[in-house]
Amino acid sequence: MDFKIHHVAVSVSNMEKAVEFYSILGFKELTGYKDDNLEIKHLYIDGFILELFCFKEHISKEALELWEDLKRIGVKHFALSVSDIKKAKEYLLNKGIIQEDIEIKKGRTGILYFFIKDPDGNFVEIVEDKRNIKP
């Protein structure tokens, strides 16, 4: 059996703002669905699909800092890799996604990273991965 990652789903409160945010990160819109109560969009980047759900009647996410959020059971974030994390930080700073004080850290597993939040507070990790892992 050959399992491969297909997509990650994220619920958002405003589809337009979410699509705008993720397009800054390089995602392109693939397909979508909309009715009176629900809008779904599939965004694509480098073999990966991000599935966005926007319900007319949604429940707001409790605002937690990263460390506290990691303690709650469930999916916590997804990560996007870049070849140069300093250039990625500069790009996101210029786009107004992050503030100057965002710190690039070295993780316990040895990778450089920083976190950003989408418009609804969902965590997205930016990592510098020079391992070039491919199937």
pLDDT in tens, 65-87: 766 776 676 677 888 989 899 99
Report the candidate in 10, 17, 55 with the shortest Cα–Cα distance to residue 33.
55
Within this chain, domains 1-57 and 65-135 share the same CATH topology: yes
Give pLDDT, residue 2: 62
Domain ranges of the chain: 1-57, 65-135
pLDDT (tens digit per residue) in 90-130: 999 999 998 889 999 998 878 899 999 999 888 899 999 77
Amino acid found at 4:
K
**Alpha-carbon distance 26 to 14, whole Å?**
19
Tell me which DSSP letter residue 111 carries: -
The topology (CATH level 3) of 65-135 is: 2,3-Dihydroxybiphenyl 1,2-Dioxygenase; domain 1 (3.10.180)
Give pLDDT, residue 70: 60
- Does the global pTM surpass 0.85? no
Give pLDDT, residue 135: 46
Please state which CATH class domain 1-57 belongs to: alpha beta
Please tell me which residue, 60 or 127, carries the higher pLDDT value: 127
